[in-house]
Structure 1
Amino acid sequence: MVVSTSSRRSRGAACRRNSSPCGSRASPPIPQPATRAKTTVPAPSVVRGTPFHKRTGPLCQAGNWRRWAGHLSAGSYEPTHEHEYQAIRSACALIDVSPLYKYRLSGPGAAALANRVVTRDVDRQDVGQVYYTPWCDAAGKVRDDGTLHRLGASDFRLTSAEPTLKWLHENARGLDVTIEEETERVAALALQGPRSRDLLKRITDGDVAGLGYFRVMPARIAGIAAEVSRTGYTGDLGYEIWVGAADAIPLWDALTAAGEPFGLAPAGMLALDMARLEAGLLLVDVDFIPAHRAIIEDQKSSPYELGLGWTVSLEASNFVGRAALRAERARPPAWRFRGIALDWESLEAAYAVVGLPPQLPGTTLRSSVPLYAGGRQVGYATSRGWSPTLKTYLGLAHLEAESATVGTELEIEVTVEHRRRRARATVEKTPFFDPDRKRATP
């Protein structure tokens, strides 16, 4: 028996802005609500604030708002995001991640459903452990990725970028499981950065300082009941805090009141995007196209092609796509997902032709550009931008397997004063930024 206690319309994934010539698809227009002629009743908004909007709204002096899964999300609070990025890397930052889709799986069949839909071995997941995981279609192509929190023996929370409720129901047939969408009921804050542990342990009951990497625990933060996970999207030491929506404002106030000595600052999507690029983390609709929305087969990617082979447990129960992935593992994948670093002198030379210094992007770029080796195109870069910490122009890329070896020299297309030119680049391992503090526990 499958019981659904809530549902909602799909609102799409975060920040769909990719207009790639190399196979990605632009988002469909957001439908506008119909209104009757001569009515004075305002049409309902297609976007809403998160449970933290009463605090984030006044703080967003830049007026730089983005749409994320039907919600308003700050792109940057200040006119530029540099201070927010530096808070992530040198102090601590507070990031509203409430628009993530969140699903609760509970009941005797909850573990069986989780084992059926994700590529990880849920039977080996401890209570209090968090899995990062993709999930696939029957052909072994990635539909989405997210985290699976095991909150109890038969109690899980699945987070995703894409609406996933219908797909969960389709795979729950015959199982005694309750599936609840709790996206609107549960607010989420990411507290990220090297001082995040010091801040959190000051106002949290329980041994939050001893919480291991990709673990989750119940806690009380300034008296507020919450769940704290040692997870994040920045590649740094950090936590994500999950609370009931009614407690969102008290939680924000408690953290900001205690955060000044630790350099706490609110951070928006632009700073987060730069941090996740340095960490080599995938972004849906930018670095890969969800299989169920791809127009042609070549737009789809398997976990092996996205560098996620380590998340595939072929010995686990018969999850969706396992047979296809077992067959794929027997042969090398045709594509690899890699990091690239642009050569600075080559970039200077490309701009010097027109008398300009290199024009560095102020934000992470999300459009695909071709990559070449030996005079032919061998792949394309997706996310790319200048790393303030590493002082390097970085990118993420899909490459043909024979051109994906670390150290391989490539050329990347750059546009200089409306003309296409090429600069040298090198294949690199990811993550680019991987500090010991991310995993360390005192």
Structure 2
Amino acid sequence: MPRRAPQGTQAVQRALALLRSFTPEAPEHRLSDLAASHGLHPSTAHRLLGVLEAEGLIGRSPDSQAYRWVPGAPGAGDAGPSPRHNGLRPLEPLRTPFHRRTAALCESGAWRDWSGYTCVETYEPTPEREYWAIRNAAGLIDVSPLFKYEITGADAERLLDRLMTRDFSKSRTGRVMYTSWCNEEGHLLQDGNVQRLARERFLVSAAEPCLRWFEDCGWGMDVEVRDVSEEVGVLALQGPRARAIAEAATTGIDFGAMRYFDLAAGEVGPVAGGGPVTVTRTGYTGDLGYEFWVAAEHAEALWDALVEAGQDHGLLPAGLLALDMVRVEAGLVLIDVDYVSASHAEIEVLKVTPAEAGLGFTVKLDKQADFVGRRALELERDRGPAWAMVGLEVDWFELERLWSEIDLRPQIVGQPASREPTPVFAPGGWQVGQCTSRFFSPLLKKYIGLATVHADAAALGTELDVEVSVGYGRRRARARVVRRPFFNPARKTAVDPMPRVDE
């Protein structure tokens, strides 16, 4: 039996294993390939490779930004370590294909890590203008850090039917399916979109890495799963003016004929020759919108074409704070905020099923194909889920009353969405759940939130108490269960003619 390494040496072992991947025969590797081959999250692999690069053991290709072997590096020759600042060399975060464009526009200097990538939180000091652009005109959001997996082969559909809770025998080329996938106990691992690009070719987008899981579930099948996360950039164009901008910025696509969750292939720019692009009528804002999937080498051309086309339509780049605000209004759940993936839940009680996370509509127990977690979900169907994802609306007059006790108006207007979980109680009683996303909606003029509560407290109209911060204290404010989504305009799913802004 191999000897177990002493505790605390795991990072060293991983770094050495990564270093051993670089040989004269295989001198250059992409981050995604290294992460997949060593079973690491890309952000973990990036940090370890950064340390090796700081020590001069490996380098970066100026053309492809891939990591490469350095002949004569310490340990293999006489070269010294690479330059440092104050004895240390800072590790650079990953950059999306649109980074040069987003960095030039980010006046606030507010950035956030997203799966190892540096992404704009808000371009301006506050997210208000970006939020209103999405709701009144259009916002342009870089969502490239999504993990992307191309699944091809004769058994591609069969693999997806084994992995996912949706019925992919009913999917058609040119359509997108939103789905969830579970472990064998029926606990939710992730949710995401699946594009059917051809009969035997799909593209899966996910918030967290799942290459090994897909490969394991496809063992013995005639299928190939390939991580294309670094090869594809993604822009979300969202808002009532999105269609007009998209039509002016691309060619070869009939946007008037695109239905909700359709996809179409075209070219970047108002004339042919700007590079291929796939457009899906999808988004994370609950509004009319499209997502543009483009090869990294054409990413900046796509950004420039959309920005130019949007000049007469009020288009603004929007950061993650504005995106968080509109997705709460849309009632859309976020992994590791509104539910915890079973793959890294620390205790059993944190694991939920799709139904408990508000995604029960993605589970198709009537499909013929067996899928991971099916038996557990059939048992849940018979007994009913223990928890439910609900929308909450907090009474404004209740908030005014609580804040008036310290002689202040409610300090909640103009704030971005909060991801800090706060308890939810039966009126005057025990805790029955928690509110995981909440904010005061500028459009709806309501304090709204997403909450997980006991199933017997989930009926529409049920009154509950939500814990809120009032000054330096914590108080309970009366709320009631309301229908999700909070905001659901007709233009989101409307087909030609061009929807109006106020629809």
Q: TM-score range by the shorter chain?
A: over 0.9
Alignment of 1:23-102 (within 5 A): 33=51, 39-42=81-84, 43=89, 45=91, 47-102=93-148
2:351 is aligned with 1:300: yes
* Whole-angstrom distance in 2 between the partners of 1:387 and 1:125: 36
Alignment of 1:254-403 (within 5 A): 254-316=305-367, 317-360=369-412, 362-374=415-427, 375-403=429-457
* Whole-angstrom distance in 1 between the partners of 2:33 and 2:259: 33
Partner of 2:255: 208
Whether contact under 8 Å (2:288, 2:493) holds in the other structure is yes
Change (3 A) 1:282 1:12: farther
TM-score under structure 2 normalisation?
Answer: 0.81
Selected match of 1:244 from 295, 319, 333: 295
Partner of 1:10: 41
AA aligned opposite 2:83 = V
Change (3 A) 1:175 1:46: farther
Change (3 A) 1:422 1:77: same
Change (3 A) 1:315 1:256: same
For residues 4-38 of structure 1, the C-alpha deviation after alignment (integer angstroms, 9 at most, x for no partner) is x945241469xxxxxxxxxxxxxxxx778365599
- Give the match's secondary structure for 2:190: strand
* Whole-angstrom distance in 2 between the partners of 1:181 and 1:209: 32
For the pair shown, the structure with the greater C-alpha radius of gyration is 2
* Whole-angstrom distance in 2 between the partners of 1:203 and 1:359: 41
Partner of 1:120: 166
* Whole-angstrom distance in 2 between the partners of 1:154 and 1:67: 34
2:265 is aligned with 1:218: yes
Percent of residue pairs identical = 45
AA aligned opposite 2:337 = V
* Whole-angstrom distance in 1 between the partners of 2:142 and 2:329: 20
**Unpaired runs of at least 5, structure 2:** 1-31, 57-79, 497-503
Q: CA RMSD in A?
A: 1.8
Q: Shift in Å at residue 103 of structure 1?
A: 0.2
Partner of 1:24: none
AA aligned opposite 1:415 = S
* Whole-angstrom distance in 1 between the partners of 2:307 and 2:353: 41
AA aligned opposite 2:138 = C
Partner of 2:487: 433
* Whole-angstrom distance in 2 between the partners of 1:145 and 1:404: 22
**Unpaired runs of at least 5, structure 1:** 14-29
* Whole-angstrom distance in 1 between the partners of 2:91 and 2:198: 38
AA aligned opposite 1:409 = E
- Give the match's secondary structure for 2:333: coil
Whether contact under 8 Å (2:55, 2:82) holds in the other structure is no
* Whole-angstrom distance in 2 between the partners of 1:332 and 1:46: 48
- Give the match's secondary structure for 1:83: helix
Q: Shift in Å at residue 112 of structure 1?
A: 1.0
Q: Which moved more, 1:227-236 or 1:253-262?
A: 253-262
AA aligned opposite 2:328 = L
* Whole-angstrom distance in 2 between the partners of 1:7 and 1:208: 39
Whether contact under 8 Å (1:7, 1:181) holds in the other structure is no
Q: Give the aligned length.
A: 422
- Give the match's secondary structure for 1:87: helix
Whether contact under 8 Å (1:116, 1:320) holds in the other structure is yes
Q: Shift in Å at residue 203 of structure 1?
A: 3.0
AA aligned opposite 2:375 = A
For residues 231-258 of structure 1, the C-alpha deviation after alignment (integer angstroms, 9 at most, x for no partner) is 0000000000000000001111111111
Partner of 1:166: 212
AA aligned opposite 1:157 = L
2:239 is aligned with 1:193: yes
* Whole-angstrom distance in 1 between the partners of 2:486 and 2:162: 33
Q: Shift in Å at residue 417 of structure 1?
A: 2.4
* Whole-angstrom distance in 1 between the partners of 2:398 and 2:364: 42
* Whole-angstrom distance in 2 between the partners of 1:131 and 1:80: 34
AA aligned opposite 1:131 = M
Q: Shift in Å at residue 224 of structure 1?
A: 2.6
Partner of 1:27: none
AA aligned opposite 2:105 = L
AA aligned opposite 1:373 = A
Change (3 A) 1:12 1:138: farther
* Whole-angstrom distance in 2 between the partners of 1:311 and 1:168: 19
Q: Which moved more, 1:394-403 or 1:413-422?
A: 413-422
For residues 131-161 of structure 1, the C-alpha deviation after alignment (integer angstroms, 9 at most, x for no partner) is 1111100001110111000101110000000
Whether contact under 8 Å (1:100, 1:161) holds in the other structure is yes
Q: Shift in Å at residue 85 of structure 1?
A: 0.6
Q: Shift in Å at residue 46 of structure 1?
A: 5.3
Partner of 2:150: 104
Change (3 A) 1:227 1:63: same
Whether contact under 8 Å (1:119, 1:134) holds in the other structure is yes
Q: Shift in Å at residue 415 of structure 1?
A: 2.0
